[in-house]
């Protein structure tokens, strides 16, 4: 399934911007397509695993990890993550699989990993990332929200919003333009510094959370050798 939009630059060809998604992890290779700025692996997590994480939100302290992981020593690098949690072993296996995939896909040896329990929107405004590409996945709770390129008035990003909230600034037309990643989805978001993607970084934001809501979010970023 593809969501098609276009990007026009003076004296350059028109480049379509599409979303690619599939229940197969092989879809992640689509991020290398010039016209793809988000690739989504529709991964299904076991209900018992997600429920265990959800239960821990009210019974155990929030998680905050920010570490550099090496492709050749992933298991050792993450062995101390959530050792005290019932779901810890299963979560570490999911993390290992995702890091392995990320490193293999981009032929990198080091990855910046962030794993956090959030009870409020970390990035509440729509924005683009000044990175080549970022992996985002939510293990429990609401997923990241994003906008297709064709539905964005990019002049309203940042200071262009004139101090108005996203839904009043003219950044997008209506709430129906907002897409949401599902819990378990693994997404690659192409950023502004991916070569050839200037002006087409995937526009996204953290979801708003109610006072009794939390989410467990993981992101992966390139780390230079």
Task: Name the pTM for this structure.
Answer: 0.91
- Of 86, 72, 101, the C-alpha closest to 218 is 101
> Residue 121 has what pLDDT?
73
Q: How far apart are CA 212 and CA 207, in angstroms?
A: 14
pLDDT at position 101 is 97
User: What's the chain look like in SS3?
Assistant: CECCEEECCCCCCCEEEEEEEECCHHHHHHHHCCCEEEEEECCCCCHHHHHHHHHHHHHCCCCEEEEEEECCCHHHHCCCCCCCCCCHHHHHHHHHHHHHHHHHHHCCCEEEEEEEEECCCCCCCCECCCCCEEEEEEEECCCCEEECHHHCCHHHCHHHHCCCCHHHHCCCCCHHHEEECCCCCEEEEECCCCCCCCCCCCEEECCCCCCCCCEEEEEEEECCC
| pLDDT digit string, tens, across residues 86-121 | 999 999 999 999 999 999 999 999 999 999 999 987
The range of the structural domain enclosing residue 78 comes to 5-222
Mean pLDDT value across the chain: 91
Which pLDDT score, from 0 to 100, does residue 69 have? 97
The token pair at 96 is 């290992």
Model confidence pLDDT, tens digit, residues 181-197: 999 999 999 999 999 99
pLDDT of residue 10: 40
pLDDT of residue 15: 66
pLDDT the model gives residue 2: 44
**CATH number, domain at 210?**
2.60.120.10
Question: Is the per-residue pLDDT at 7 higher than 50?
Answer: no
Query: Tell me, what's the pLDDT at 123?
Result: 85
- For the cut 90, the answer to whether the pLDDT of residue 219 exceeds it is yes
Indicate if the pLDDT at residue 156 is higher than 70.
Answer: yes
Number of domains in the chain: 1
Predicted local distance difference test score (pLDDT) of residue 217: 98
* pLDDT the model gives residue 132: 96
User: What are the tens digits of pLDDT across the range 8-65?
Assistant: 444 344 567 899 999 999 999 999 999 999 999 999 999 999 999 999 999 999 999 9
């Amino acid at each position: 399934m593809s969501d098609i939009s276009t990007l026009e630059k003076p004296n350059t060809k028109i480049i379509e911007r599409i979303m690619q998604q599939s229940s197969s992890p092989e879809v992640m290779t689509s991020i290398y397509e010039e016209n793809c700025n988000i690739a989504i692996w529709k991964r299904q997590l076991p209900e018992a695993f997600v429920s265990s994480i959800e239960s821990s939100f009210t019974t155990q302290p929030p998680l905050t990890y920010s570490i550099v992981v090496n492709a050749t020593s992933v298991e050792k690098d993450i062995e101390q993550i959530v050792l005290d949690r019932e779901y810890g072993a299963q979560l570490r296996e999911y993390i290992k699989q995702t890091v392995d995939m990320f490193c293999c896909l981009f032929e990198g040896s080091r990855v910046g990993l962030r794993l956090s329990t959030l009870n409020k929107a970390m990035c509440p405004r729509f924005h683009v990332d000044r990175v080549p590409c970022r992996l985002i996945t939510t293990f429990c709770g609401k997923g990241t929200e994003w906008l297709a390129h064709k539905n964005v008035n990019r002049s309203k990003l940042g200071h262009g919003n004139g101090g108005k909230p996203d839904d009043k600034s003219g950044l997008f037309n209506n709430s129906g333009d907002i897409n949401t990643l599902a819990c378990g989805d693994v997404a690659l978001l192409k950023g502004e510094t991916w070569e050839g993607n200037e002006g087409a970084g995937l526009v996204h934001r953290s979801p708003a959370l109610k006072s009794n809501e939390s989410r467990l979010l993981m992101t992966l970023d390139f780390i230079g050798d």
